[in-house]
Amino acid sequence: MASIARGDFQRLLMRSIQTLLGSSSAPTIGASQRADRDLQLHADQRSTVTRGKAAYLVPRAAGGLRCRVQRRQFMYAHDGDCNGVLYHIGTSCGKTAFRNPAVMKQIVITASSPTSRFTNPARLSSRTFVESSSALPRQEQGQQSSWWRVDFGEQRRIMCDYYTVRHDGSQDFARDWSLQGSEDEENWVDLRRHENDRTITSRGQYASFPVTGHAALLPFRWLQVASTHKCSDGDGGRRERCPKLCIGALEFYGVLQLLNQ
């Protein structure tokens, strides 16, 4: 699982903004001025969609074709609310009673370990308490990593500005983890990083966190919660066993984009 350096992150930010806003006929300006201008334009569009639904015509990333993008804002109110993106997808955009969107194959949730009695990714969007839900570490690029990953689909992108996790019924509380986003499921951007975070202290507890900065302006197809615990070598050269990542539920908030060619 690759991470993106600061310079690459800035270039990714600029490409995403250019894709969303299209080319500009403004006179030639310096790079820093252009970045400030594009970020301000992007912020202006985002403030517009917070009033409800909005639709814009923007260029596609490839071929110069244009597609229609619908945007809708989802705002966090309280833990376990019905304002999140996964709940919205599970109600077919508010048209039906809630049904688990992972079971209905409207989204895909995966884990770092195979599906089993204790690792059932679809439960994370079921809105029911899960007694045991753990992702075990797997070897990736020479490191062990535990994660839960949500694929919103080819026609959806999310600009996440808040998210909620709910612990399962165990006492294996997460302390070091990161919320990450990706457009290719290979390169990941940290949206919010937690180090020795002791927010979660009880079984079944909700914990919600804001996402701030430039990362909250980037649209992603994939979001994942990944353990960042560093496994050290113990006595006799034996490597410490990396902890499993126990999460019973997930929810995300922000701007949901629907892409229709």
Please report whether residue 14 resides in a domain: no
What's the CATH number where 187 sits?
2.60.120.260
Domain that holds residue 195: 70-260
Please count the structural domains in the chain.
1
Q: Position 78: which residue type?
A: H
pLDDT score, position 143: 81
pLDDT score, position 66: 57
Please report whether residue 124 resides in a domain: yes
Please report whether residue 201 resides in a domain: yes
Successive 10-residue mean pLDDT values, the chain, 261 residues? 61 62 41 42 38 40 60 97 98 96 98 95 96 93 90 97 97 96 96 97 98 94 94 55 90 94 54
The tokens for 141 are 């690029």
pLDDT score, position 20: 53
pLDDT score, position 232: 58
Please report whether residue 19 resides in a domain: no
Please report whether residue 55 resides in a domain: no
pTM of the predicted protein model = 0.75
Q: CA-CA distances (angstroms) from residue 28 to 44, 159, 246?
A: 21, 29, 51
Q: At what angle do helices 31-49 and 6-21 cross, to 10 degrees?
A: 60
pLDDT score, position 239: 55
Please report whether residue 255 resides in a domain: yes
Distance between CA 166 and CA 123 in Å, rounded?
A: 12
pLDDT score, position 4: 61
Sequence-distant (6+) residues with CB within 8 A of 49 are 71, 72, 73, 255
Please report whether residue 152 resides in a domain: yes
pLDDT score, position 43: 41
212 strand-pairing partners:
none
Distance between CA 56 and CA 8 in Å, rounded?
A: 27
Please report whether residue 96 resides in a domain: yes
pLDDT score, position 1: 56
